[in-house]
Amino acid sequence: MDDELVLVTGGTGFVGISCIIRLLGDGVRVRTTVRDLARADEVRDLVRSSGADPSGVEVVAADLLHDAGWTEAVAGATHVLHVASPFPTRQPKDEDELIVPARDGALRVLRAAHDAGVRRVVQTSSFAAIGYGRPNPGRRYTEEDWTDPDGPGVTPYAKSKTLAERAAWDFIAREGGSLELATINPVGIFGPALGADLSSSLELLRQLLNGAFPVVPNGSVGAVDVRDVADLHVRAMRHPDAAGERFLAVSGDAITYLELARLLRAGLGERARHVPTRVIPDWVVRAGAPFSRDLRLMSQELGRRGDASHEKATLLLGWVPRDRDESVLASARSLVDLGLVRD
């Protein structure tokens, strides 16, 4: 691996930093991008907090919205893990706030990788590009499924991930040449937090643990550990048969919000005493939907399940994820350890 240099975009993100740590554990040289070099020390601190040596990480500036910096970022790289993409805690009023950086950013990275002679790009997509806008198939979702970006109930985020992944595959088919592409499609990403800048899934747990909600909705969320997501990226980067493939990253079936609340209560005891254990009636959500954007989005998810299969990743790449519940509890315990859960 002495000649291997991997570019990881979005080095301060939950998945990005986990990929960096995973690669450093393999002795791989890593370069990562941040929008502002003022955050370079943040990357190094996160790597150091995991017990890894940050001296093996080069940090450069590049923004998904601008061409500047990408030629330098990919120079000499053998592989690219394109992880960076916006993930909002609240859906924006203008969907282009998410669609443009996700789609155009993916194309910027792919063009730069193509021009630099990179062997393979592994792009972080999402279950959001698989399981929305169409009737539930009555089975576990697989990589053969695609979200209809114009279908009912599709959020700006799901639309952005779908259009960005479609654009990436179209680019490879049209002008990719020898450049290879694989995509990873995770469900909700959990796992131990390394710092106070939380992913959307961990922010959900923090709010539940701190009693931000008096009730939970009648819905569910898929779960996978961030360490397993990073491992799947590296497997897809290296395995010869991964080129041209999508891989769902999921551990077990989706967990309902009520099951999640009960799991936190059982696993953390007194530290989870603020977690609600009552479900808001569906009629209340529907009644409030015309007056609240959040309730409107929630109403579209009532009773919905997004169970998905990781059979492809397991059979082709040998990927075996951690237990779903243990991953969720590891997330919650890390929030307690970081002092983000009130006494």
Contact 99, 27 (CB under 8 A): no
Containing H/E element for 28? Answer: none
Which token pair is 214?
A: 């008096």
Residue with tokens 């290879």: 180
Residue 216 DSSP label: B
Which among 45, 24, 42, 22 is positioned nearest to 33, based on CA atoms? Answer: 42
What is the three-class DSSP state of 62? coil
**Nearby residues of 37 by Cβ (< 8 Å), 6 or more positions away:** 59, 60, 61
**Nearby residues of 167 by Cβ (< 8 Å), 6 or more positions away:** 103, 106, 107
Contact 187, 223 (CB under 8 A): yes
Give the active site residue among 93, 159, 161, 312.
161
CA distance 200 to 255: 16
Question: 220-221 and 255-256 as β-strands: parallel, antiparallel, unpaired?
Answer: antiparallel
Burial (CB count within 10 angstroms: exposed 0-12, middle 13-18, buried 19+), residue 226: buried
Which among 135, 138, 255, 136 is positioned nearest to 188, based on CA atoms? Answer: 255
**Nearby residues of 117 by Cβ (< 8 Å), 6 or more positions away:** none
Which among 35, 31, 129 is positioned nearest to 79, based on CA atoms? Answer: 31
Residue 93 bears catalytic tag:
no
The residues annotated with a catalytic role in the active site are 161
